[in-house]
Amino acid sequence: MGRSRNVVALTVDFRDMVDLPTDTRVAGELFPEARPSRTVVQIGALAMPDLLAEITATAAL
C-alpha cells in the first residue's frame, strides 16, 4: 500500500483560485520533507457541484 512519501506528482483542479493558499498550507503539512511536483489549474466546474477542488495524485511504488 502506498504512503504520502510515495506521491511524486499532484494535479489540483480548483473552481476558484482563492482556495490555493489553503491548499498550499495543507500540502506542506502532508508532505513536510519532499513535496511532489504540483500542477494547479482553475476550471469552470467540477463533476460534483459541491466540491471546491479535485486532486489527482501519482505515486511511485
What is the Cα–Cα distance from 5 to 30, expressed in whole angstroms?
9
Cβ partners under 8 Å of residue 14, min gap 6: 20, 23, 40, 41, 42, 43, 52, 53
Locate 59 and state its grid cell: 505515486
Average pLDDT rounded to a whole number, residues 29-45: 92
pLDDT of 25: 95
pLDDT digit string, tens, across residues 47-58 = 898 999 999 999
pLDDT of 1: 60
Tally the domains of the chain.
Answer: 1
CATH at residue 10 = 3.30.1330.40
SS3 47: coil
Structural domain for 32, as ranges: 4-59
What is the pTM (predicted TM-score) of this model? 0.83
pLDDT of 2: 64
pLDDT digit string, tens, across residues 12-35 = 999 999 999 999 999 999 998 888
Strands 37-42 and 7-14, sheet pairing: parallel
